[in-house]
Amino acid sequence: MPKSNTQKKMDVVVLYSSGHLGSALIMNKLLNMPEINIVGVVKAQPLKLSLRGRAKIKQHLKKVGWRFAGLLFWQRCIQAFGYLLTFIFPFLSKRIKPAWKIAKDKSIPVFHCGNINDLECQQFIKDLNPDLLISAYFSQILKKEIITSPKLGVLNVHPGWLPEYKGAMAYFWVLSNGSDRGGVTVHWIDEGIDTGTVLARRSFALKEQATQETVLMYTAVIGAKLIGRVVRRLLAGENPQLHTIHPEEADDYYPMPGNKDFKRYFKQRRFFRIRDVLGLLVLKRYR
């Protein structure tokens, strides 16, 4: 049961994907919410270059193709450059920060996980005794032991309109499908894939020049605001569900895009623009 409204803050563990700009943006916004106290971070690490890790990387590259992988690597380089600028120039110090910097500044414990369902990670979360886990574009599937570890449950920010856009990279598919509106959803996580109870949703217009990166940024900004509304209702002891799913709504699942999907997409849209990434990190756009 939710706590009474005498509690002023929710103790939260953030589930964070290393190098993911959406994860960083949500973490920065959660940090500034008076209703939320971040007590820990579980950070999903990239695949290690072990024998098993190399095999998984090779399999992933075969699926998505070298062009997408190269663009993703180039995007991460631009992000790193943007973060570097914020450290070099003091007047940029209040811009968006990566999770490790926030954790260091605020003395927030971080668990670097290869698999969130491992016993060591379960114990890390248990020791923190959080009210909520908040998944900020976390890249791993949660099992029952993790889902049931916080007092209230696990909230997920999904970069798509549920239940119409279940699955990976909804921000890719909404553009690939030629939709004129994108969406973002906050829902409880259960043992299915994007099947938990929807608590809040919001749609937004897609501009003609929208890229995956700009759509992702908008979903992170809007998603963080929706998280704030849900948390405030939980603190007040109210039903956090703000939306009802209508029976006639589309209910579709989209898998991780493959090489052919990306080739078709690149004929229509760009993956990201350097000015968009630096605009977020340095100029505070999309706030």
Q: Give the pLDDT score at 56.
A: 57
| pLDDT for residue 214 is more than 70 | yes
Q: Give the pLDDT score at 285.
A: 52
The structure tokens listed for 278 are 């630096």
Q: What average pLDDT does the segment 231-237 reach?
A: 93
Fold (CATH) for 10-283: Rossmann fold (3.40.50)
DSSP states along 36-72: EEEEEEEEEPPPPSSHHHHHHHHHHHHHH-HHHHHHH
pLDDT, the chain, mean: 84
Q: What average pLDDT does the segment 228-237 reach?
A: 94
Q: What average pLDDT does the segment 200-205 reach?
A: 95
The structure tokens listed for 30 are 């959660």
Written in H, E and C, the secondary structure of 218-285 is HHHHHHHHHHHHHHHHHHCCCCCCCCCCCCCCCCCEECCCCHHHHHHHHCCCCCCCHHHHHHHHHHCC
| pLDDT for residue 105 is more than 80 | yes
Q: What average pLDDT does the segment 98-119 reach?
A: 91
Please give the radius of gyration of the chain, using alpha carbons only, rounded to the nearest integer: 19
- How sure is the predictor about 4, in pLDDT bands with cuts at 50, 70 and 90? very low
Q: Poorest-confidence range of 89-93, 96-100, 107-111, 247-251? A: 89-93
pTM above 0.75, yes or no: yes
Note the pLDDT tens digit of each residue in 135-189. Answer: 999 989 999 999 999 999 999 999 999 999 999 889 999 999 999 999 999 999 9
> Where are the chain's structural domains?
10-283
Q: What percent of the chain has pLDDT over 90?
A: 48
